[in-house]
Amino acid sequence: MAKKKKAAVVAAQLRRGEKSPDDIRRQADTLREQVGELLGLAQAMDDLQMETLVVDGVTKIERGVKLVDEFVANLEAAISKEKRQRRRDG
């Protein structure tokens, strides 16, 4: 049982970490670049008049979008928590 508890603590430590505004901006820039690539690929498919295409790893994009949504929600919650704490501290 102690091994499971230790593993849970390690997992929580890996999930939590500090991010600066610059870190967030860099990640947003990376996402913006990826969006541009995706739009370019969609345009290439349109140019070739492809209605659909079989793609390996097709569910990865949905999982990735979900993870980004979850991270954004966690970031919003952390900011709200910090705001409340600062108001309490005066």
Choose among 59, 75, 87: nearest CA to 17. Answer: 75
Residue with tokens 């070739």: 48
Contact 68, 31 (CB under 8 A): yes
Domain positions in the chain are 20-52, 54-90
pTM for the model stands at 0.77
Q: What is the pLDDT of residues 34-85, one digit of tens each?
A: 999 999 999 999 999 999 999 999 999 999 999 999 999 999 999 999 999 9
Choose among 66, 68, 67, 61: nearest CA to 42. Answer: 61
The confidence band for 23, taking pLDDT boundaries of 50, 70 and 90, is very high
Amino acid identity, position 48: L
Between 56 and 6, the more confident residue is 56
